[in-house]
Each structure stands twice: as C-alpha cells, then as structure tokens.
Amino acid sequence: MLLAFVVLVGCRGGLPNDLPERRVKVQTVERLNFIDKDFAGMSTADNSTNLAFKVGGLIERIDISEGRLIPAGYVIAQLDPKEFQLQRDAARSAFETARAKYERAKRLLDRQAISRAEYEIAQTQFVQARADYENATDILAETKLRAPFEGIIERQFVDTYQRVSAGQSIVRLVDPRSRSVKFTMPESGLNVLSDTAIRFSVEFDNYRGVQFPAYLKEYVQTSSDASGFPVSLGLREPLPAGRFDITPGMSCTVTMQIDQSRASDEVSVPLSAIYAPIEGGTYVWVVSGDKVHLQRVELGEIFGRDRVVVRSGLTGGEKIVTAGVYRLQDGERVVVIQ
C-alpha cells in the first residue's frame, strides 16, 4: 500500500494541474492610447539681453551690482556727457539761427522782397538744422543706459572710468521670471512635433509631483553639432494652484505625450511583466482562469518611466502577471492578489 501511494503521488506530481498555487499580481492589458516620452530640460529667461551704449565714450558712473534686481527704466550706467552736451549746444545754436533766417525769409517772400529760390534755401537750412539739433539731443540722452524691463543683472562686463565703444556690452540683464523651457529632441522624434494632438507637461526638480501644462513654441529643424534639435516650450497660464517661483536655469523633466489612438492595435505593459529567459525571446505570463501560460510577444519602444509597447502577441482585455515573472512555470496554478 505504501509503494502504491508513492507511485500515485509521483505520477500526479508531474501533471501541470497539480503544481503548487502561487500568489501573483496581475494587470489587465489595455489598448495603447498614448505614449509618454521624457526629456531633460531647463527653464530659460523670457527676456534676456546684453545692454550697450549706442555711442562710445568714457564711463562716468555704474550704479549696479551683479545679482541685483532693478526696475524698468533704471539708469544702469552713464557716459561722461560733456562732449555730447557741447555738440547739443552747438546744434541748438545753429538751429535757432536757421529758424530766425527762415522766419525772416518767409516774411520777405510775402512782401515779394526775395525770390522763391532764396526762400527755399532758407527753408532747407532750417529743416537740416532742426534735424541736427534733435539728433544731438537724442545722442545726449543715449549717454544714460536704462533698463528696458525689470530684471536681474546677471553679469557686468566693464568698470567705471573705462572707455567703451558703441555697441560694446556693458551688462547682461535677465528677466527673473520664466515661462519658457528648452530641451533637446533626438532626430527619431522630430517628426512627431508637427502632430497637433501632441501634448507637453513639465515637472521641475524643485516641485516634484507638480505637472505644469505646456505648449510648443518653436523648434529648430537643424543640428549643426549632431547633438539634437533644440525645442522651446511655453508654460500655460494660469500655473497650478500654489506659489511657484520659476526662474531661469531650473532643471526639469519634459514629458511629451503622443496620441496613439489612431494607430494599430498595439498595447502596452509594465516592464516588470516581461519575461526574457536566457534562451532568448520575450514573453509574458497570461492568466487564464486560475492558471498561467507563457505567451511570446514582440516588443516596441520603451516609454514613460516603466512601460513598453507590445506590437504583437497580446490583445486588450487579457490579464498578465506583473511581478515575480521569473518564478512561474507554465501551467502553474495561481491566486490573484486583489
């Protein structure tokens, strides 16, 4: 009787139906609607510029320091105005003289005491002198370098009593508020940017868990150094509830969501569901009733943080094991963890 019992147990142990039950986590396979791709990005200044004088001269005063926030219209630096004041005064004197001659010529023309040609000469001289005076006045005003917008002095290039030329950079002014993000797109993904259904979101390292919706502003379709194609995004207003100080230079993760609903019947599964034995091939464990069986699949690209596209081998609605795939055996009984 003992021998018969051992033989019976040995025979039954080799059947798949009598493998021990294992507790597993499962997930229902869903049709692929969107693909998320992540890129490293950085916030950039909406307004930034190197400020320079339109005229050259000796710097008389610089009233700034790096890192200082200044309002729009603030006088950043000033050239020595003496030379330009003399030019303005000379132009004003010439203008007043020409105006007096013009007004006298107009009175004489009314009395027919001078010819039309003499009057027109006086008129031309008056117009020219007025333009010279206005130009000299504008040049004198350009000896003061003013901030075109509120910003932070990021860098100072010159010092007081230094002679500078026209167009030479004096300071770099940067808007402290940023609503722009830039990242680099590889060549393989450049064609999807023309899709109007594409969506973007941005998560800053300083504000983990907060998704800022964004829109595509512009992108460059050339890459001179083969490092990728620059893409610029704008953050949508209003920003998520709460106070978020976003300044230029903050690192972030850009998520690009691509609509796949019009594509083929591809599905996606977690990376943890893929079984890749040493012998080769890629598989998933499909749960049918209370048993699992091995199903070969063809994989596509990895997207998001933990998912992969399955091109063939699975259909929507099937249940697959998502954890412990290397401990299962074909035909093994399982208990689904709720």
Chain segment 148-202, per-residue pLDDT in tens:
999 999 999 999 999 999 999 999 999 888 889 999 988 766 777 777 778 899 9
Which residues does 96 contact at the CB level (< 8 Å), separation at least 6? none
CATH of 81-142, one of 3.10.290.10, 1.10.287.470, 3.10.450.40, 3.40.50.720: 1.10.287.470
- Please, what is the angle between helix 82-110 and helix 116-141, to 10°? 160
State which residues of the chain have pLDDT below 50: 2-17
Domains 17-33+264-336 and 81-142 share a fold: no
Neighbours of 172 (CB within 10 A): 17
pLDDT at residue number 9: 42
What predicted TM-score, i.e. pTM, was given to this entire model?
0.57
State the Cα–Cα distance between residues 206 and 245, nearest whole angstrom: 10
Six token digits for residue 33: 């609607």
Each domain of the chain, given as residue ranges in start order, spans: 17-33+264-336, 39-46+177-259, 53-74+146-176, 81-142
Which helix (H) or strand (E) is 257 found in, with range?
strand 251-259
Helix ranges, 35-169 (H): 82-110, 116-141
State the Cα–Cα distance between residues 4 and 11, nearest whole angstrom: 11
Whether a cis peptide bond, with omega within 30° of 0, leads into 230 is no
Distances (CA, A) of 275 to 221, 278, 294, 296: 39, 10, 9, 9
State the Cα–Cα distance between residues 307 and 48, nearest whole angstrom: 39
Minimal CA–CA distance to 252: which of 218, 202, 199, 304?
Answer: 202
- Environment class of 193 (CB within 10 Å of its CB; exposed 0-12, middle 13-18, buried 19+): middle
Q: CATH for 39-46+177-259?
A: 2.40.30.170
CATH architecture assigned to 17-33+264-336:
Beta Barrel (2.40)
- Domain 53-74+146-176, what fold? OB fold (Dihydrolipoamide Acetyltransferase, E2P) (2.40.50)
